[in-house]
A and B are shown apart, each in its own frame.
Chain A
Amino acid sequence: MNLETHLRSRRSLGKSLLIPYVTGGLGEPWLQIVRAVAAAGADAVEIGIPFSDPIMDGKTIQEASQRALDLGATFSSIVAQVATLDIGIPIVVMSYYNPLHHAGHVRSASMLADAGIDGAIIPDLPLDEIGPWADAADDAGVETVLLAAPTTPDDRLGRICERSRGFVYGVSLMGVTGERAQLASQASVMGERLKAITDMPVLLGVGISNSEQAVAAAASADGVIVGSALISRLLRGEGPDEAFTFVESIRSALDA
């Protein structure tokens, strides 16, 4: 499934887009969680490949990644499990660069494509370094989503939008992933700056923690990504049913 085409068509229905994040390999039922969030109305799902040194992640996703690694999750085991999914929406992986680099650009891009994974978000691979990976990913048909940050200057923002595939990921605050009591003031500025220069779908993520924040963030962009708020529930022992309820509540708030 083409990620960008799919998101554009959902957007054209006048709906705000919603992409939940699930750490791959986080306990036995993690594929059930993915199915649950898809059923709850996600427009795509982001699956985290756990990494030993996740510098863009706060405590919650650090803990989830460590737990998944302790349970034996690997890049190839997660990809193999994703290949068994049939959820009817695009799947994007979030991976730090080293596991992809280690497996080899061409090999890891084709592993993703073969598993039916449509896109990749690589938080430590900025525009300036994307070349060798992007060539392999483009050839394999994996859409590489670039991040834009509140600190990104205007001219660079334009180049990021041009090179991004699937959508543009606007970082909604100055910081790493993790729940926040309030939506950062940078969120709407980020959304507006991106919307002013690109027609590509713009999603805001990092720190968006509940329905209210999702609605506020989505007002300036095409949609939101929700990660830690879901993962902290899973770390507390909640399962597919609660994940469904949580994502559905954000879905209906966005649709209201």
Chain B
Amino acid sequence: MPAPQRGTPVDLTPAQASDGLDQTLGRFGEFGGRFAPETLIPALEELEQEFNSAWSSSDFRNEFSELLTSYAGRPTPVTECRRLSDALGVRVFLKREDLTHTGSHKINNVLGQALLTKRMGKQRIIAETGAGQHGVATATVAALFGLDCTVFMGAVDVKRQALNVWRMELLGASVVSCESGSATLKDAINEAMRDWVSSVESTHYCIGSVVGPHPYPTVVREFQRVIGDESLLQMREQLSGRDPDYVVACVGGGSNAMGTFAGFTDTSAQLIGIEAAGLGLESGQHGASITRGVPGVLHGAKSLLLQDEDGQIVEPHSISAGLDYPGVGPQHAALAATGRARYESATDEEALLGFQLLAETEGIIPALEPAHVIGWLMREAGQSVPTGSTVLITMSGRGDKDAAFVAERLSGRDS
């Protein structure tokens, strides 16, 4: 099959039955499920039915595919990074989600969920956001579809992602700043869920990652699998029919990674998710829920969580708002348990190094989230990733949103 061309609708083949999901309880191994307040259960059942019927309808898939093409700008290219490859001694390719409309992969999922919202006859859409990218994508698509839109954002993130707050408001969304807890992504999700418990009859909760109660982890993975499906074909074209040795993506909730991995589960590529090591795994100030978490239930699903000995959720830390989350999508927890994917981490400092190196060598300014993957590869190339390997990295978003923050962090340094 030829690699998709820009402007060509993408063939979205139906999900494989081998997606690891036990349909009855929404389980991935021991993880997943539907641990939601009773008020929401009927809406989750409705969403599941609506998604299943939509996803098996060619009309729906064509409409989705058309939007991905004409509005979001898909397919996104895969760029071979020659100067970065020379610097690291491994062959690096980037899947360019940073080139989509609104500048991150989040738009893929939002377009799908907005179509579902319309099918369910709902007029209002709510979302949580960390980095602001999912909030911007939701506000954007709400404007496109004429939906009312409210975005919940932790007060800390409102400060560090000020540009995105302004964009959401320009797009007509109301942004609610959440002061409780750590005032970051998890608290924004809490607040969105509380709103949804009050408004569920008229409102769709457009969750931004592969987290939450069943069916969300599956819905979001399917709307993001276009990343992996496109990349698989594009890499085979670039590598004369071979698959990359490594497929690597950053993991906050895990949607860009899950969408990427979905295309490669049946290949021999090693799948690696990079979590935020923050100030270092030993510092306790990080967002590495798979590396350091234990099983628990938060935001509607059983997964691996950062929590204390009493079962209270621990406040995570990451330089990037999008990775600042104490949990992870349940399918990642399951992939880690079976060993099909491996999870490693990069610190705040390594992410900053990756941010600078990609800008200097390739003229691409990454978002801080995928900058963690570059930082990780700078450490591991020639070590655990042998010299000469081929590495596909999902460049989940562009760095404009982080530019002012990074400028401040780097100012006054000698390097």
**CB of A140 within 8 A of chain B?**
no
B38 x A148 contact (CB < 8 A): yes
B38 x A69 contact (CB < 8 A): no
CB distance from A9 to the nearest CB of B (A): 28
Q: Contacts A75-B310, A76-B310, A151-B43 hold; do A174 and B36 have CB atoms under 8 A apart?
A: no
A99 x B312 contact (CB < 8 A): yes
Q: Which residue of B lies closest to A175 (CB)?
A: B198
CB distance from A119 to the nearest CB of B (A): 17
Q: Which of A12-20, A49-57, A213-221, A226-234 contacts B (4 or more CB under 8 A)?
A: A49-57
Q: Which residue of A lies closest to B180 (CB)?
A: A62
A129 x B34 contact (CB < 8 A): yes
A52 x B181 contact (CB < 8 A): yes
Q: Which of B135-143, B293-301, B342-350 contacts A (4 or more CB under 8 A)?
A: B293-301
**CB of A240 within 8 A of chain B?**
no
State the main secondary structure of chain B at its contact with A. Answer: mixed
Residues of B within 8 Å of A55, CB to CB, are: 37, 190, 193-194, 197, 299
**CB of A115 within 8 A of chain B?**
no
Q: Contacts A51-B312, A56-B197, A99-B310 hold; do A150 and B35 have CB atoms under 8 A apart?
A: no
Q: Which of A26-34, A80-88, A120-128, A246-254 contacts B (4 or more CB under 8 A)?
A: A120-128
B194 x A53 contact (CB < 8 A): no
Q: Which of A53, A129, A147, A151 touches B313 (beta carbons < 8 Å)?
A: A53
B312 x A69 contact (CB < 8 A): yes
**CB of B39 within 8 A of chain A?**
yes
Enumerate B176-203 residues with CB–CB distance to A below 8 Å: 180-181, 186-187, 190, 193-194, 197-201
Residues of B within 8 Å of A110, CB to CB, are: none
Q: Which residue of B lies closest to A147 (CB)?
A: B38
**CB of A103 within 8 A of chain B?**
yes
Enumerate A129-169 residues with CB–CB distance to B below 8 Å: 129, 146-153, 156, 160
Q: Which residue of A lies closest to B307 (CB)?
A: A102
Enumerate B235-276 residues with CB–CB distance to A below 8 Å: none
Contact bitstring A83-106, B, C-beta under 8 A = 1, else 0: 000000000000001111111000
Q: Which of A58, A76, A126 touches B37 (beta carbons < 8 Å)?
A: A126
Identify which of A53, A99, A160 gathers the most chain B CB atoms within 10 Å of its CB: A53
Q: Which residue of B lies closest to A75 (CB)?
A: B310
Q: With A and B bound together, what is the CA distance between A53 and B312 in angstroms?
A: 8
Known: A74-B310, A150-B39, A171-B38. 14 other contacts (CB 8 A): A52-B181, A69-B312, A98-B307, A98-B311, A99-B311, A101-B295, A101-B302, A124-B37, A126-B35, A128-B25, A129-B33, A129-B34, A151-B40, A152-B42
- The 22 listed contacts between A and B (C-beta, < 8 Å) are A51-B312, A52-B313, A55-B190, A55-B197, A56-B194, A58-B194, A66-B180, A75-B311, A98-B313, A99-B311, A99-B312, A101-B295, A101-B297, A101-B311, A102-B310, A103-B311, A127-B41, A129-B33, A129-B35, A149-B39, A151-B41, A152-B38
Interface residues of B (CB under 8 A from A): 25, 33-43, 180-181, 186-187, 190, 193-194, 197-201, 294-300, 302, 305, 307, 310-313
